[in-house]
Structure 1
């Protein structure tokens, strides 16, 4: 029983599968050689993350495939319905990385609020010559406590963002066309907790009232969700974070909003043209950047590996 983990798999997942008798192959096979490799090695399960594409051509060319697994939430790189129409099981790990992505949202928020993204670039070059000038340029930092965060998309990750925000003393508002109310359980170190009900509202209200806006929505079939029209509805000096999918924000309109001062800073973990983001995005002084690392924590990868292993064993009825 051979499994190809083409974009890698945490050792916890490999160990769990190996103990059940699977052979886990972690060789990184180039996209153009993928079907050949799968057929030559009799691969029954293909595990991917965001790099490997599993579209109709791969599905049609690989009759041995029984399971396609995505280590993460979004499955934009897999033709899910087509695979299922061919009686191939398609699985993912929707809850394994929620905490990691949510924490990265706040890493970007803290970075922008205190100019860390810019000072980390300039201090190594100018810190020993114009220290006082740099200090003065960063003296208008802001606190998150007491501010309003607008969450667009109140699924698992959006709710985890809300949990952290409430713990920081922020006001939380949210928009989601599929969820009317979410009950957020905020836990404290001594096993105490409070439940906070958040009623979602129309997108326009969130855009108008939020000091910070973070997006947690799937890729948009008909273009972007946030563009010039949406930026115009936001507060002056708003900050925008995108750790969901590239293309959800119109990047050209974001640049224009940053340059005009409408948006004071942005945090981006995902980009329109991954893995080659636009240079004007990468070099903009008001953008905090990470290379699609929302789920890239040791804890999340451990949970992803174990979740995939459990699902595979369940599907194949291996105990």
Structure 2
């Protein structure tokens, strides 16, 4: 029986025809996604669901999707898909992470021109029969300094276009290596330097805990006078109220925004300001981009339903069905090891060496590699998946090496991840016990035995008496319960570490209290996707 796919949003007829040409039974109902009740009534008939942003694949809908095997999102954003619920249901969620890149980059460049030359205001004035030539005095882009926050796929395209405009480009990106910066022809800088030197600033980062409000009120105070701000990435990166104040008093000369903290944006502090250009989230809105992502998602879904091949999956690595049975716990371990490294690394990673020992060396190490890299990079980019992670790592100039060896110790097999940055090296190792649960077994060369949980705390210190008491007392007094406590040291009086499994994420004030004791070199909260 042929697989059956429902297209519940407006995909192109060409994309729908791809399903038909591949022998898949497809129902094209482009307005069904807006009718939640009707969609829930019919979803149980389908093996695949192809959507854009109108359809909401909620946990409630997925409860009705008894036959669903794959959801394909034409585009990068999957805010409308409950990925944890899909994972529990055994549904693969795919997106098309690179189909919109050129279109979004071009929109950022267009917005930069628009705010530099006040094109929307000048157009409205001329349409009104005025001839206010002296009112609209713009600035050239040539020889101006462009600050690019985020030098990934879209950011690198913007950088390339900016060079063509003869702009000087500086970039801030924690994952950008010096080698990759040289390839892009940019000077890598810290955020404060970028804020103080750029004539134009454009954002090309996802919205994460680390990037939320990255242009805060305090950051706005550090901006070069007369700067112009462009945001075609994500709402929530900029404090819109603080920026509006800076625009009104002239510290910031102009802004161009395609995205807003609340969308659809019917009101914003930036609205109705004469030096602000706004558009309704049009970054990916070109005929070419919409067609590209539609065709791509149709091909990906067809491949999976007909052959089992997995591309651009957000909740499953690219492995065969046979491998998945054995590798599942090891894939999760690899992701945890990468996530540990990613959450502790605040500078560009130059090289990653992944060592596979014993039975781990006999597995599909390519799939395990992608799990390590995805886990590491997801700390700064939640849109990274098992397929796009190696591409993004390559774009950032990260050298990835794999070593395999026969069993050398007490474990049947283990994985060790060693990372090199410009200033330091860091390593962590783990294994899977007979119960199928991943464990951390070594950090910084110090042997430990720590189970992995969703909320953890990592500390480093000089080995001395009283550290356990300080940790226990500080956390206990502030209502943070310790589920498990693992300690290790290199030798008496030397480097020591602690890894705590907690019931909840410790609040920032509690972390500050631990840091203020002066007992610790590092106090880092960690989160892991367990389950």
Q: TM-score range by the shorter chain?
A: 0.7 to 0.9
Residue 127 of structure 2 corresponds to 124
Q: Deviations over 1:269-319 (max 9, x none)?
A: 112221133154332222212211111112112211221122112212359
Q: CA deviation at 1:161?
A: 0.7
- Are residues 1:295 and 2:284 paired? yes
Cα distance change, pair 316–224 in 1 and its aligned pair in 2 (3 A): same
- Are residues 1:25 and 2:25 paired? no
Deviates more, 1:15-24 or 1:286-295: 15-24
Q: Deviations over 1:12-34 (max 9, x none)?
A: 32221221133142322325326
Determine the C-alpha separation between the residues in 2 that align with 1:316 and 1:262. 55
Matches within 5 A, 1:25-104: 25-29=28-32, 30=34, 32-33=36-37, 35-39=39-43, 42-104=45-107
Q: Deviations over 1:160-181 (max 9, x none)?
A: 1111111111111111122324
- TM-score scaled by structure 2? 0.53
Residue 114 of structure 1 corresponds to 117
Checking the alignment, whether the CA contact within 8 Å between 1:184 and 1:197 is kept in structure 2 is: yes
Higher strand proportion, which one?
A: 2
Determine the C-alpha separation between the residues in 2 that align with 1:264 and 1:31. 44
Q: Kindly report the root-mean-square deviation, in angstroms, between the aligned alpha carbons of the 2 structures.
A: 2.4
Q: Deviations over 1:245-291 (max 9, x none)?
A: 12222221221121121221111111222113315433222221221
Q: CA deviation at 1:57?
A: 2.8
Q: How many residues align?
A: 303
Checking the alignment, whether the CA contact within 8 Å between 2:108 and 2:202 is kept in structure 1 is: yes
Checking the alignment, whether the CA contact within 8 Å between 2:284 and 2:290 is kept in structure 1 is: yes
Three-state SS of the structure 1 residue aligned to 2:72 is: strand
Checking the alignment, whether the CA contact within 8 Å between 2:181 and 2:188 is kept in structure 1 is: no
Unaligned runs of 5+ in 2: 310-531
- TM-score scaled by structure 1? 0.86
Q: CA deviation at 1:102?
A: 0.6
Unaligned runs of 5+ in 1: 186-194
Q: CA deviation at 1:244?
A: 1.1
Checking the alignment, whether the CA contact within 8 Å between 2:96 and 2:293 is kept in structure 1 is: yes
Checking the alignment, whether the CA contact within 8 Å between 1:266 and 1:286 is kept in structure 2 is: yes
Choose which of 209, 222, 225 in structure 1 pairs with 2:197.
Answer: 209
Determine the C-alpha separation between the residues in 1 that align with 2:47 and 2:187. 44
Three-state SS of the structure 1 residue aligned to 2:306 is: coil
